[in-house]
Structure 1
Amino acid sequence: MGSPCDTVHVANKEITTDYFDIKLFPNPASTDIKIDITLKEYDPAIKTEVVIIDISGAIVQKYTMPDFVYLATIDISKLARGVYGVQLRQPKRFGERVLAVEKLVVIR
């Protein structure tokens, strides 16, 4: 019979490697922003959207990323000064899934 120091416990744990990212620059910005996205895998059948949300949660701007494009420039000149959330979204069977979120500061 062994001691507790001789015992080895093994557990099976699923490790996910999902990697989605969104980078904004410049930030703060006043006229336009460049958006750099990273997707775990690319599927042209699944459209990726960049959604800008105001502090109340309302969608103020949407941009659909063209196929095979990971860097885009978005005009934000019509947005009021303030803090916004920028979400990277993809549709799923029922609704959408948010892949990544970044804060955007609009200055004038």
Structure 2
Amino acid sequence: MPDPDEQRRMAEFEKRLAAAKEAQAPKPRGDEHYSQAQLAWRMVIELVAGLAIGFGIGYGLDILLGTMPILLVVFTLLGFAAGIKTMLRSAREVEQAKQAADGGDETDEGD
């Protein structure tokens, strides 16, 4: 059996080791902070994705149904509208996160 002095030293060592590991562990991120360029690229990609999906659906339906320019134009416009809507939602999320980071107790004067 190990003596009590050795057990006490091992317990102290384990406490110091746990404290050192905790100090070295990376802290979890709370909020992701994006630069303005990252936000701009995200919005551009959302718009282009909406346009591309609308174009693809419209083109595919036009080929299947034989109504070449009609559905292509309609779905491209719908894709554009969906891209704009997604961009606005992203901008709103960023604005809400920014307000929450700044304190959040300010009232929204613009709306």
Q: Could you say which structure has the higher helix fraction? A: 2
Q: Could you say which structure has the higher strand fraction? A: 1
Higher Rg of the two aligned structures: 2
Common topology (TM > 0.5): no
- TM-score interval (norm. to shorter): under 0.3
TM-score w.r.t. the length of structure 2 is: 0.22
TM-score w.r.t. the length of structure 1 is: 0.22
